[in-house]
Structure 1
């Protein structure tokens, strides 16, 4: 019988110890423990990638390639602790016609699976807002779908406190037009993450993002006449 890739309690335990000893001396002494736990993450991400490729086309080459480095970039940060205290990874959708990305974050007491658009560039943000302003109904239909609400509750992400430049403050979709990020997030308990079926739950969560990602991909890859953008 094929073994299910399971996140063990020891993966959380290592992170908790690292939070108390976030320095290079401790990490180097426990490098073997880190590499052992990282193998669990690689196995989990590999099976997750295989599952995702049954319902989407992912550019990320392997589960191992999806995992973020644990080393922090401290060059421009006031926080000089050298290591992240969570496990995380992301998957990139293939080709310019499949937009949006997938992400997971594992940390005891703070586990979530997410996706969408974390930092759309000004051109993409303009296209999204113009489409919403023209007809917000397609996006509202996705966000109001019972299956969407049951999984993600609501669209998340940073919003402007004022009206975006070039749009009417009284627009019927001003609540949507204020978004600067377009994120879908589902949180999981520690027990859910440690369950052998978590990889299936993560995959199902990513699959549930598809109506939103497909809508946004069409907005970002076609013009107002439906022709493909160059």
Structure 2
């Protein structure tokens, strides 16, 4: 983590106002003229991320994770996009070992005005190998996953499920399989949205930590399944 603390560890209305104005003025000249407003917003983001990292430290191995490694750039990659707006309309960060490029299932937070801020985590754009592992686990041992995602506290905090599903059952699975809905999932990403009023609360970073704690068992389930489970030796 960084040793120098940012001057602010909460979001202010000025940050949300900047993001709203950016939507209406998404071009380089305006951004450069309003660079001090962006710098102030980024400083607040750094403060919140630092506080989140500190809050997660008791239950996540993040000792070598720096604030700067968690934050996404506001610049958009427009090389292959029809939308040539150069800047994102949100601030975002992801927390995993080493930051946003951990390569593992991590916690993603996006700050966007209009009550569109959210915390999300889960299976998103998995590799074919990992998706096959997920479906195999559903087929043979679905109880562990369902115990996590069907818990009352989990469902209450993460009511929104994002991600694509197949219209038909994947190859190799019966159409009348008891877990057909989960097996057809190509992605299984859970979201909790925050109102602008919640984002501006002094306790917002602590609320993010609470949400991460609730979804951690699901992240742990996927990380073990995708990355940590040892392959059983093949006996001839």
Alignment TM-score, normalising by the size of structure 2? 0.87
C-alpha contact (below 8 Å) 2:9/2:46 kept by paired residues: no
In the TM superposition, what whole-angstrom CA distance separates every residue of 1:117-141 from its partner, at most 9, and x where no partner exists? 2111111110110010112122111
User: What corresponds to 2:14 in structure 1?
Assistant: 10
1:131 has 2:137 as partner: yes
> What pairs up with 1:23-34 in 2 under 5 angstroms?
23-34=27-38
- Structure 1, 104-113 or 161-170: larger mean CA deviation: 161-170
Distance 2:150 2:42 in 1: 38
**Which of 99, 102, 108 pairs up with 1:103?**
108
The answer (yes or no) to whether the contact 1:14–1:34 under 8 Å persists in 2 is: yes
Which residue number corresponds to residue 62 of structure 1? 66
Q: Secondary structure at the match of 1:209?
A: helix
User: In structure 2, what is the equivalent of residue 122 of structure 1?
Assistant: 128
In the alignment, what sits opposite 1:204?
210
Aligned length: 221
Q: Which runs of 5+ in 2 are unaligned?
A: 1-6
Query: What per-residue deviation string (whole Å, max 9, x for no partner) do you get for residues 124-182 of structure 1?
Result: 11011001011212211112111111111264322111111221111111100111112
Q: Secondary structure, in 3 states, of the residue corresponding to 1:69?
A: coil
Shift of 1:52: 1.1
Question: Could you say which residue in structure 2 is the equivalent of 1:222?
Answer: 229
- Give yes or no for contact 1:103–1:113 (8 Å, CA) kept in 2: yes
**Counterpart pick for 1:89 among 57, 73, 93:** 93
Q: How do residues 70-81 of structure 1 correspond to structure 2 at under 5 angstroms?
A: 70-81=74-85
Q: Which 4+ residue blocks in structure 1 deviate beyond 6 angstroms?
A: none
8 Å CA contact retained: 1:48, 1:63:
no
Structure 1 distance, partners of 2:79, 2:63, is: 29
Partners in 2 of 1:75 and 1:4 — Cα distance? 35
Query: Does the Cα contact within 8 Å between 1:114 and 1:184 map onto a contact in 2?
Result: yes
Matches of 1:131 and 1:93, distance apart in 2: 25
> For residues 146 and 88 of structure 1, do their structure 2 counterparts lie closer, same or farther at Cα, with a shift above 3 Å needed?
same
Gaps of 5+ in 1: none
**1:93 & 1:79 partners in 2: Cα distance?**
32
User: What is the aligned partner in structure 2 of residue 151 from structure 1?
Assistant: 157
Cα RMSD for the two superposed structures: 2.0
The Cα of 1:223 is off from its aligned counterpart by 5.1
